[in-house]
């Protein structure tokens, strides 16, 4: 019998519960297979979970934060690039690049891809630049170090605020886990009601209906085999052969005397057979 595939990430929980509620919203309240209490419980859980979920998604992809991060990284990288070009033109001794951890004018530059890189490497660049100037080095322009520092300081402020929000989310993990459990409970209760209401439908028809609500079932080994290669699967008569006997049957098939077109049939079998004894498993990780 097909198994339920419960959503196992916050994104999937959110999408599944939202799809269930949106689908129910299109149905006349008198025609729903859920009681009003169940329906309003789903709405309440969804409202709380949505706030937590969307807040976390914003933390992961805050456009304002990412824009400042990109700008600060570019200024730091361009400053080092200008110094390398000055060394190549002979306007600055190449040995001065050693202050910044660069061996020569062709050394690869840091990527500045993460906030941590920008914070740590930026601080080192400003310290190195102060030492170079103190030892008689010339100021660099386009960009100047002062402009670079402005964008660096802007990013430091944004980074610290971002970290505060991340820590606040981490400190609420117990609350978040409780909400996850409530969402899963709502989905299971809804699923039970859906199965009870439509138990008269054929399996394939019911599975299609469930998909409209965002609910997924695994396929049996025989169903997977038929979808992958109906021609090859029919060789085994899956309806008559238990799933755990498929490998034994396949071995007998491959080792039997060579019939006409055997190579082609064996090729099809070897291509499709992995699907015949494989069950879809849900990912247990969060």
Residue 16's contacts (CB-CB under 8 Å, 6 or more residues apart) are: 7, 187, 214, 215
What pLDDT digit, counting tens, does each position of 228-264 carry?
Answer: 555 544 544 444 444 444 455 445 544 555 444 344 4
Q: Is 22 exposed, middle or buried (0-12, 13-18, 19+ CB in 10 A)?
A: exposed
Residue 34, phi-psi category: left (phi > 0), alpha (psi -120 to 50), beta (remainder): beta
What pLDDT digit, counting tens, does each position of 138-161 carry?
Answer: 898 889 999 999 999 999 999 998
What pLDDT digit, counting tens, does each position of 60-119 carry?
Answer: 778 889 999 999 999 999 999 999 999 999 999 999 999 999 999 999 999 898 999 999
Q: Return d(Cα 115, Cα 52) in angstroms, integer.
A: 23
Nearest 10 degrees: Cα torsion 179, 181, 185, 191: 100
Q: Return d(Cα 59, Cα 165) in angstroms, integer.
A: 8
β-bridge partners, 4:
217
When pLDDT is averaged across residues 39-55 and rounded to a whole number, the result is 91
What is the residue extent of each domain of the chain? 1-217, 221-275
Residue 46's contacts (CB-CB under 8 Å, 6 or more residues apart) are: 17, 18, 21, 183, 186
DSSP, collapsed to helix, strand or coil, labels residue 211 as helix
When the pLDDT of each residue in the chain is averaged and rounded to a whole number, the result is 80
Q: Return d(Cα 234, Cα 276) in angstroms, integer.
A: 11
The larger pLDDT score, comparing residue 162 to residue 73, is at 73
Q: How confident is the model at residue 278 (pLDDT cuts 50, 70, 90)?
A: very low
Are the beta carbons of 96 and 132 closer than 8 angstroms? yes
Looking at residue 63, its pLDDT comes to 86
**pTM of the full structure:** 0.55
The larger pLDDT score, comparing residue 111 to residue 226, is at 111
């Amino acid at each position: 019998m097909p198994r339920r595939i419960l959503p196992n990430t916050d994104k999937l929980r959110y999408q599944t519960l939202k799809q269930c509620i949106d689908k129910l919203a299109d149905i006349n309240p008198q025609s729903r297979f859920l009681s009003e209490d169940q329906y309003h419980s789903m709405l309440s859980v969804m409202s709380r979970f949505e706030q937590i979920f969307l807040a976390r998604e914003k933390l992961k992809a805050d456009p304002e934060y990412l824009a400042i991060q990109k700008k600060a990284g570019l200024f730091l990288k361009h400053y080092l690039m200008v110094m390398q070009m000055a060394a190549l033109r002979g306007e600055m001794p190449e040995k001065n690049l050693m202050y910044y951890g660069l061996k020569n004018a062709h050394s690869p530059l840091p990527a500045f891809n993460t906030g941590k890189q920008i914070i740590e490497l930026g601080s080192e660049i400003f310290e190195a630049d102060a030492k170079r100037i103190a030892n008689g080095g010339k100021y660099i322009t386009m960009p100047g170090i002062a402009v670079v520092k402005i964008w660096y300081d802007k990013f430091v402020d944004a980074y610290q605020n971002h970290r505060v929000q991340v820590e606040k989310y981490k400190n609420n993990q117990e609350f978040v886990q409780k909400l996850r459990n409530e969402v899963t409970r709502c989905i299971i209760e809804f699923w039970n009601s859906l199965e009870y209401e439509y138990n008269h439908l054929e399996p394939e028809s019911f599975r299609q209906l469930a998909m409209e609500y965002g609910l997924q079932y695994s396929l049996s080994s025989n169903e997977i085999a038929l979808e992958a290669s109906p021609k090859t699967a029919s060789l085994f008569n899956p309806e008559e052969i238990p799933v755990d006997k498929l490998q034994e049957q396949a071995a007998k098939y491959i080792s039997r005397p060579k019939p006409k077109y055997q190579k082609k049939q064996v090729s099809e079998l070897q291509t499709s057979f992995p699907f015949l004894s494989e069950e879809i498993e849900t990912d247990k990780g969060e």
